[in-house]
């Protein structure tokens, strides 16, 4: 069963805490992405990676960090420097002729 998985579905962060969101794909896609979505808003790109051990900042990278040690995995850490982390976080991967992006189910991050 191919696809993209994200965990957890809901995540609660305390003040000053770093939290890590998991994203795994078994589609054999080279590129992976992290987006943030706020209520009533479109998707904003946080980080993306086109190949293992390489990643680039997106439009809103401040307060976030990523790693890409395996092709299948692209975890996102929301650091304490991100002062407004409450949002819906979406992971995507892309492949194929048009590099079409497919999304995981998302993680909703809430601040306690």
Partner 1 sequence: QKEVEQNSGPLSVPEGAIASLNCTYSDRGSQSFFWYRQYSGKSPELIMFIYSNGDKEDGRFTAQLNKASQYVSLLIRDSQPSDSATYLCAVKGGTSYGKLTFGQGTILTVHP
**Closer Cβ to partner 1, 13 or 103, answer by number:** 103
Q: From the CB of residue 48, how many other CB atoms can be counted at a distance below 10 Å?
A: 22
**Closer Cβ to partner 1, 28 or 100, answer by number:** 100
**Closer Cβ to partner 1, 38 or 81, answer by number:** 38
CB distance 31 to 74 below 8 Å: no
Kindly list the residues in this chain that would bind partner 1 in the complex (CB under 8 A): 31, 33, 40-45, 48, 50, 58, 90, 94, 98-106
Q: From the CB of residue 73, how many other CB atoms can be counted at a distance below 10 Å?
A: 14
Min. distance of Cβ 99 from partner 1 in angstroms? 6
Phi-psi category of residue 36: left, alpha or beta, with phi > 0 → left and psi -120 to 50 → alpha: beta
Min. distance of Cβ 47 from partner 1 in angstroms? 11
């Amino acid at each position: 069963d191919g696809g993209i998985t994200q965990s957890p579905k809901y995540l609660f962060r305390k003040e000053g805490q770093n939290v890590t969101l998991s994203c795994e794909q078994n589609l054999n896609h080279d590129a992976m992405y992290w987006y943030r979505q706020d209520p009533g808003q479109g998707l904003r790109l946080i980080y993306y990676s086109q190949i293992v051990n390489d990643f680039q900042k997106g439009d809103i990278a401040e307060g976030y960090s990523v790693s890409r040690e395996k092709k299948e995995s692209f975890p996102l850490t929301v650091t304490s420097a991100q002062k407004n982390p409450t949002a819906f976080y979406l992971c995507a991967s892309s492949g194929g002729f048009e590099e079409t992006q497919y999304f995981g189910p998302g993680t909703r991050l809430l601040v306690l």
